[in-house]
Structure 1
Amino acid sequence: MPPIISVQNLGKKYVLGHQSQERYTALRDVMTNGVKRFAHKLRHPLATSKSDPTREDFWALKDINFDIQQGDRVGIIGRNGAGKSTLLKILSRITEPTVGQIKISGRVASLLEVGTGFHPELTGRENIFLNGAILGMSKAEIKKRFDEIVAFAEVEKFLDTPVKRYSSGMYVRLAFAVAAHLEPEILIVDEVLAVGDAQFQKKCLGKMEEVGKQGRTVLFVSHNMAMISNLCQKGIVLDGGRLAFQGHISEAVMKYYQGANAPDEASRRFESDTAALLGSQLIGVGDALDVTIHDEFVVRMKYRIKQSIDGKCVPNFHFFSADGNYVFVAGAEGVLAMPPGDYFADCTIPANLLNEGAYFVGLGLTTYYDAARFDVEFFDRNALTFNVIDPMDERSNRYGYAGPVPGVVRPKLTWNISKDI
């Protein structure tokens, strides 16, 4: 089946202007310099012009290639300046690429920023019909969806008010309702949803999921990795205007965080004269490195003790959050002196312990001789990564709340609620 979106060798260049060191240039100087450049071209028609120090070429996107199939829900991830918004503007046909081409099969509805897509002088009612017409829908088709759009946006009282008088929240509610309900084959949504309140964000996420299940395509940009992980199946990671990764959404999230948490060599030591790290594994975690918040899983380390030692070689696992902060450290209990050989150390992480998000696991082995003396045999700070997902199903204790839950741990504790009599 041919892709619904195909991007080939895409690039977008902007010309940046830099202020020259000369603070003031008279009109006479501008005219004189222009005449000199013209005369130089007449005398030397084949000469190449010197580069202008006040202008610089900046490639916001370069060498971008990917295909998106019908029905895919794709999260586009990257730090500020990575090229996400530029890519969406090109896909939405707001701006043209400098090089390369895009092929899109179907109608595109986009919600990129507050103010995009509506005429400020027209009322909410008029803008609904205008957007439908732009999408190629007939007046009858728009009328069929009209009441549903208004109910979703919750702006009934302001339908006949010019949208320039809307608050940013009202504007986004109506813009999203129009984009999602006028049945586009492709729905493109940028971080603009952050303007809405938590309840409206939940409605939007539910609607985008519904759109995806109907076989339509969703492209979603957000810095909220938990939201991206829940909504999308696939991910595209942009880094410095280039495509860094395309694949399963959890792998894309981990790729994004690995770039931000790349360990230095000082944090990686794989062996000593006494012991060596042989390998590591996550058991019970999906192929794409994701695990639901409700499921337990096992962190396994394989290591070798090279020689007999008068001490206890204790495996220890260090858990870090996506921003690089410590979550906790777990050390094995009941370790005795062990003869040389290969060993496995398994640590079970219980269900309903970690909050949703990306995590890194550092694997270490420490030899303890007494209370005052120990040696770190090896330590790999980012040996393993995984992504915890909250499916927001009936087992979740969110009570319909769709926003991020604070904290790095989210244990399921025992509660007792009783009436005071």
Structure 2
Amino acid sequence: MHYAIRARDLAKQYRIGAIRQRDMGYVTLRDAIAERLRGRTQKATTTELWALNGVSFDVQQGEVVGIIGRNGAGKSTLLKVLSRITEPTRGRAELYGRVASLLEVGTGFHPELTGRENIYLNGAILGMRKREIDRNFDAIVQFAEVEKFIDTPVKFYSSGMYVRLAFAVAAHLEPEILIVDEVLAVGDARFQKKCLNKMQDVGQQGRTVLFVSHSMQSILRMCQRAILLNHGQVVADGPAQQVVGVYLGKGTHSIAERVWSDRASAPGKEIAHLRAVRVRDVDGDVADTIDIRTPVTLEMEFVVTTGGYVLMPHFRLYNEDNIAVFTTLDLDPEWRQRPRPPGRYVSRVTIPGNFLAEGSLYVEAALTTLDPPIGQFAERDAVAFQVIDSLEGDSARGDWTGNLSGVVRPLLPWTTIYEPSA
């Protein structure tokens, strides 16, 4: 077994809250007042923060691994330790092969040097010979789309130009290990797609990619494996869909299916209780990810224990910003305004393709009686799924690669009337 990265008990401690001593031999009146207002004139307090604490994992050569977690989980600190930018407080990291890192805007380039000079400087740092850099130079410049500015000092580049060139250098100078933080968010959607495709190409060439992202679409699209960090520790490591499920709060099972086999713990009251909620794709399979162009079916299984009531099953969908996208009510004419006898029911609703916007969607499954209205259950975040836009041009985005705002993204018919000028 050939390893690219081996991390053992990595830990990184920071001390925060300490007041730095001034180099000057005096304190101004303003300084003294500010210190007294903070109540810290006599004594400075420090707090120890473990950004990483006991992180261990192995990455094999050729793996594309996603690193996910909430803000402050330790993702960026881990990449800095692996990139030899930050020294760990404890533990050891072994990397086998040439490493290229893209961690944040401003890292790796000398601002006074031109784009051309920085390409050769970075190649030399990676241990490449000039002829090796020459062989990749045109591809780097073409990918970065900075032909007109390649002989301009990079301190005059916009953040987008800087990121494009930095990623092109990191990806094209043939590193055995490519480490990328979510700095790609600076670029536009079209360039992000180019970067994702390039990282996939790097992985398919047998090289290793370590990729940090808050976009679950990108993680699921790119990575077969993911590592979830929380408070500086590894809490899940395995197949990407399974780890994303843990991240979204649904344990180790599929985020698209949830079953309550025990009546005592199932949501519900004396009239009805919930048995299961599922997300199904166009083929009828339980699925965590849905292509934006295809329909998705939501399924609610429930049991009626006390008959004689008119029931209203319904779903409510929320997006990543906790905004209610829409609510859909069960208006099946077979059971509308009709009391239901005891038994097991499975209610389904299908949402057409090219309707939902891309991103994470969380499903609330609920059921209430009518006349009188009595809620039987309302299970928030019962299941979740990802809508992924393939960017192939035949979805509602068409040829547009930029951001499309809104909680839904319908593909609507347009018509044009044209009259030639006289």
Instruction: Provide the rounded CA distance (Å) in 1 between the counterparts of 2:290 and 2:188.
Output: 28
- 1:361 corresponding residue in structure 2: 363
- 2:229 corresponding residue in structure 1: 238
TM-score with structure 2 length normalisation? 0.81
Larger C-alpha radius of gyration, 1 or 2? 1
Which moved further from structure 2: 351-360 or 158-167?
A: 158-167
Instruction: Provide the rounded CA distance (Å) in 2 between the counterparts of 1:181 and 1:297.
Output: 39
Counting only pairs closer than 5 Å after superposition, residues 301-312 of structure 1 correspond to structure 2 as: 301-309=300-308, 311-312=309-310
Give deviations 1:80-113, integer Å, cap 9, x for gaps: 2221111111111111222222222221111111
Instruction: Provide the rounded CA distance (Å) in 1 between the counterparts of 2:140 and 2:7.
Output: 32
**Structure 1: which amino acid aligns with 2:199?**
M
- 2:18 corresponding residue in structure 1: 18
* Unmatched 5+ stretches in structure 2: 28-42, 251-264
Which moved further from structure 2: 175-184 or 220-229?
A: 220-229
Give deviations 1:250-274, integer Å, cap 9, x for gaps: 4444443449xxxxxxxx9812111
- 1:36 corresponding residue in structure 2: none
- 1:350 corresponding residue in structure 2: 352
Counting only pairs closer than 5 Å after superposition, residues 50-199 of structure 1 correspond to structure 2 as: 54-199=45-190
Contact 2:188 / 2:402 at 8 angstroms: preserved in 1?
no
Deviation at 1:401, TM superposition (A): 4.1
Contact 1:226 / 1:404 at 8 angstroms: preserved in 2?
no
TM-score with structure 1 length normalisation? 0.81
- 1:411 corresponding residue in structure 2: 410
Contact 1:229 / 1:389 at 8 angstroms: preserved in 2?
no
- 1:278 corresponding residue in structure 2: 275
Instruction: Provide the rounded CA distance (Å) in 2 between the counterparts of 1:126 and 1:243.
Output: 40
- Does 2:301 match 1:299? no
- 2:375 corresponding residue in structure 1: 376
Which moved further from structure 2: 411-420 or 375-384?
A: 411-420
Deviation at 1:317, TM superposition (A): 1.5
Contact 1:230 / 1:391 at 8 angstroms: preserved in 2?
no
SS of corresponding position for 1:4:
strand
Contact 2:164 / 2:187 at 8 angstroms: preserved in 1?
yes
**Structure 1: which amino acid aligns with 2:178?**
L
Contact 1:209 / 1:231 at 8 angstroms: preserved in 2?
yes
Instruction: Provide the rounded CA distance (Å) in 2 between the counterparts of 1:234 and 1:415.
Output: 42
- 1:41 corresponding residue in structure 2: none
RMSD: 2.9
TM-aligned CA distance change 1:327 to 1:167, over 3 Å: closer
Contact 1:248 / 1:288 at 8 angstroms: preserved in 2?
no
Which moved further from structure 2: 114-123 or 161-170?
A: 161-170
* Percent of residue pairs bearing the same amino acid type: 51
SS of corresponding position for 2:353:
coil
Deviation at 1:141, TM superposition (A): 0.7
Instruction: Provide the rounded CA distance (Å) in 2 between the counterparts of 1:60 and 1:108.
Output: 23
Contact 2:280 / 2:286 at 8 angstroms: preserved in 1?
no
- 2:319 corresponding residue in structure 1: 321
- 2:342 corresponding residue in structure 1: 340
Instruction: Provide the rounded CA distance (Å) in 1 between the counterparts of 2:316 and 2:298.
Output: 11
SS of corresponding position for 1:171:
helix
Instruction: Provide the rounded CA distance (Å) in 2 between the counterparts of 1:402 and 1:258.
Output: 31
Instruction: Provide the rounded CA distance (Å) in 1 between the counterparts of 2:238 and 2:401.
Output: 25
TM-aligned CA distance change 1:11 to 1:395, over 3 Å: same
SS of corresponding position for 2:373:
strand
SS of corresponding position for 2:3:
coil
TM-aligned CA distance change 1:258 to 1:142, over 3 Å: same
Counting only pairs closer than 5 Å after superposition, residues 204-215 of structure 1 correspond to structure 2 as: 204-215=195-206
Contact 2:313 / 2:366 at 8 angstroms: preserved in 1?
yes
Instruction: Provide the rounded CA distance (Å) in 2 between the counterparts of 1:212 and 1:226.
Output: 18
SS of corresponding position for 1:119:
coil
SS of corresponding position for 2:137:
helix
Give deviations 1:279-323, integer Å, cap 9, x for gaps: 2222337666112112223222221111223x3022111211122
**Structure 2: which amino acid aligns with 1:331?**
L
Deviation at 1:12, TM superposition (A): 1.0
TM-aligned CA distance change 1:182 to 1:287, over 3 Å: farther
SS of corresponding position for 2:73:
coil
* Unmatched 5+ stretches in structure 1: 28-51, 260-267
